[in-house]
Structure 1
Amino acid sequence: MTTDVTIVVATRDRREQLLDLLPRHTGPVIVVDNGSADGTPAAVARAFPEVRVVALGRNAGAGAARNVGVALADTPFVAFADDDSYWAPGALDRAAALLRRHPRTGLLTGEVRVGPQGRRDPVSAAQARAPLGTAPGAPGPSVLGFLACAVVLRRAAYEQVGGFAERLGTYGEEALLAMDLAAAGWQLAYVPELVAHHLPAPTGRDPRARHRVEARNRVLTAALRRPAAVVRAVVADAWRDPAGRAGVYDAARELRWVLRHRRRLPAGVEAALTVLARGDAVPGGVSPTAPSLAG
C-alpha cells in the first residue's frame, strides 16, 4: 500500500461508478463531493469507512474540490483521480520514488489509457512525442499541460502556487496550474510508466455546456498569463461557434478578476508554450524553467 501519496478524488453524481472504482485505489483516499444529489457521501462512508469523505454541499467545481483534498492531505505527495478513473498497481509507488529522487520536479503526469481496451489517450500520445525535450535532471520529457486524473504532485509545489484557480471551476482548469508551476521554477514531466485508467461513462455531461465552459476557461487562462496577441487568437478561435461565443461572453464578465490576477509568464515558459502551439519539435529541448530563458 502506498503511504507517501494521498489520492484525492473529486466527484459529483456518479455514486455507483465511484463505489466500483474505490477498491482499486492503493493508499489513503480523500473523496471530495461536489454537491451530489445521489447520496454519494453517505454511500461512500458506509462502504469504505477508511476513506475520508468531505461533502461540500454544492458544486464548487473540480479544482476547488481538489484544493480541499490537498489541504487535508498529510503526505508529501498527492495524486488526483476522477470518479471514473484509477491508477494502475505500482504506479503511485513508482511516482513517489521518482519525486524523492528528483527534488526539482513538482509534477509527474502519466499515460492515460481509456476504456476497457486501454487505448492511449491523445493527450498522452502528444506528450510522448516530447516536443519540449527533457530538462536536465528531470525524470521524463517536459510538459506544460496534463489531464488531472493522471498527475502526481509534490504537495509543497502545489501549495506554493495556490493550487487550482477555483474561479475556473471544471473543464480546462489544468492549464493555468501547469503554467504557474513552471513559472515558479518546478519541472513538470511525462512518465509513461505511470499508468492511469480512465473509464468514461457512455453518457457524460452536457457536451454543449462543457464546450462553453472550456472556451471560457481557455480565454480566461490566456488573459491571466499570456501576451495580448495570444489572447486575441484564443478569442477568435472560440468565436467560431455559438457555444464558444457564449464562453467568450462568460469570460468577459470576469474582466475585473482577470485584471487583479493577471501576471505575465517568465520568458522561458512563454517560449515553451509557443513551441507547443506551433507543433515544433526542438532537437535540444526547451526547458520552461531554464534560467537562460526565464528572464
Structure 2
Amino acid sequence: MRPGSLHQHAATGLDVVIVTFDTREVTLECLARLDRGRAIVVDNGSTDGTAEAVAVRFPQAEVVRLERGVGFAEACNRGAARGTAALVLFLNSDVLARPGALDRLVESLEARPDAVAAGGRLVDPGTDATQPAYAPQLYPGLGTLVARVTGLELLRPGGPDPAMLAERGTVACDQPAGACILVRREALHAVGGFDERFWFWYEDVDLARRLRARGVLLHVGGAVFEHLGGGTFAAWGRERGLRSRLLGIAHYAEVHLPRGARLVLGLALAASGAARAATFAVLGRHGLAAAWWEGARRGAALAVSSLRRR
C-alpha cells in the first residue's frame, strides 16, 4: 500500500490495532502491506523513532504514544478504545498481510453470524507452510503447562491442533493465531477486552477462552499472513520474555484451571523455578536467575492460593 493511502471500506468498518515496541522497520512494512482498514498504531514506549516514522510515512494512521511501556494486553485495549469500527483486527507488528488476506478474513467472519472472532494462517516469509507455533491451538491443560515450566516441553509439546496444521479452509477451533486475530467489537466489549493482568504471553489464550463463551472462533486458512518473528519479544530480551511467560502461565492457570490442577502446576513451577534460579546464579546469569526466581515465587503463591476455597 502507498504511504498515506490507508482507507476504510464502506461496507464493513475495520480498525487494525498494531502494538509496537522498538520495531520501526517491520512496523512500517506491516502498515505498507495493509490493503484495507483504519490503522491504529500503539507505540509502547519505543526509543527507536517508530512513532515519528509512522506519522511521516503513514499520516492517515492514528499513532497512540505511550510514554511508558505497558503490558501488551493493556496496549491492545488502548488501541481498540481509539476506534469505533464494528470489527477490530489485532495484528502483531511483525506480521505482513498478503494481498487479499484482510478481505478473506473479514468475509469469513461476516459469513458466520455465530462467530465472534477469526484468525489468519501464519506462514514463513516466501513460503506457504503454516508455522506450527502459530497454527490453531488447543487450550493448554495441566500436562502441557507443567511441561512448559519444567523443561519437558520437548516430550509433551502441546501446541497446535494436529488436524489444523494442513488446514486451508475455514473451520472452527479453540484458539486462532493470536498474532493476527479479528474480533467483533461487540463481543470484545462484552468480555471486557484483554485481561490487563497479563503482560505479554497467554493474554491471547485467555481472550480466546472468554470469547468462546460468546460464539465460535474461526481459523481462516485462506487468509495468509507472513510472520517474520522476533518483533517485540526480541526487543525485550530473553530475561524479560521469560519472566513474562512464567507469570502469564501462572495467571492463566489461576483463572482457568481447577483447584487441584493449580496446586500441581504451582508446585511444579516453584520447584523448577528455584532449581533453575540456583543453576543460573552459579553460572553468573543473574538476569535469568532473577526471572526464574520470580517464577518460583509466583508458583508457590499459586499453590498456596489453590488450597483456599474461593
TM norm structure 2: 0.72
What's the counterpart of residue 11 of structure 1? 20
Distance in 2, Cα, partners of 1:236 & 1:120: 35
Q: 1:90 to 1:127 in 2, by over 3 A?
A: farther
Distance in 2, Cα, partners of 1:118 & 1:236: 41
Secondary structure (helix, strand or coil) at the match of 2:63 reads strand
Written as runs of structure 1 = structure 2, the 5 A alignment for 1:97-108 is 97-108=107-118
1:11–1:32 CA contact under 8 A, matched in 2: yes
Match of 2:31 among 15, 19, 22: 22
What's the counterpart of residue 249 of structure 1? 297
What's the counterpart of residue 92 of structure 1? 102
Match of 1:159 among 180, 189, 208: 189
Distance in 2, Cα, partners of 1:90 & 1:175: 26
1:19 positional shift = 1.8
What's the counterpart of residue 285 of structure 2? none
Distance in 1, Cα, partners of 2:118 & 2:32: 23
Please state if 1:240 is matched with 2:272.
yes
Distance in 2, Cα, partners of 1:151 & 1:93: 13
What's the counterpart of residue 150 of structure 2? none
Q: 1:162 to 1:248 in 2, by over 3 A?
A: farther
Match of 2:93 among 78, 83, 88: 83
Structure 2: 5+ residue runs without aligned partners? 1-6, 137-159, 277-290
Q: 1:45 to 1:18 in 2, by over 3 A?
A: same
What's the counterpart of residue 185 of structure 1? 214
2:266–2:301 CA contact under 8 A, matched in 1: no
Distance in 2, Cα, partners of 1:147 & 1:72: 23
What's the counterpart of residue 43 of structure 1? 53
Show CA shifts across 1:138-190 (max 9, x none).
Answer: x51321x34322211111111110111112111221111111112x3321122
Percent identity of equivalent pairs: 29
1:235 positional shift = 2.5
Q: 1:32 to 1:98 in 2, by over 3 A?
A: same
Structure 1: 5+ residue runs without aligned partners? 132-138, 264-295
Please state if 1:174 is matched with 2:204.
yes
Q: 1:97 to 1:113 in 2, by over 3 A?
A: same
1:198 positional shift = 0.9
Q: 1:41 to 1:252 in 2, by over 3 A?
A: farther
Q: CA RMSD in A?
A: 2.9
TM norm structure 1: 0.75
1:95 positional shift = 2.0
Written as runs of structure 1 = structure 2, the 5 A alignment for 1:219-230 is 219-230=250-261
Distance in 2, Cα, partners of 1:236 & 1:112: 35
Q: 1:62 to 1:21 in 2, by over 3 A?
A: same
Distance in 1, Cα, partners of 2:272 & 2:176: 25
2:30–2:94 CA contact under 8 A, matched in 1: yes
1:49 positional shift = 0.4
Written as runs of structure 1 = structure 2, the 5 A alignment for 1:192-203 is 192-201=221-230
Please state if 1:147 is matched with 2:181.
no
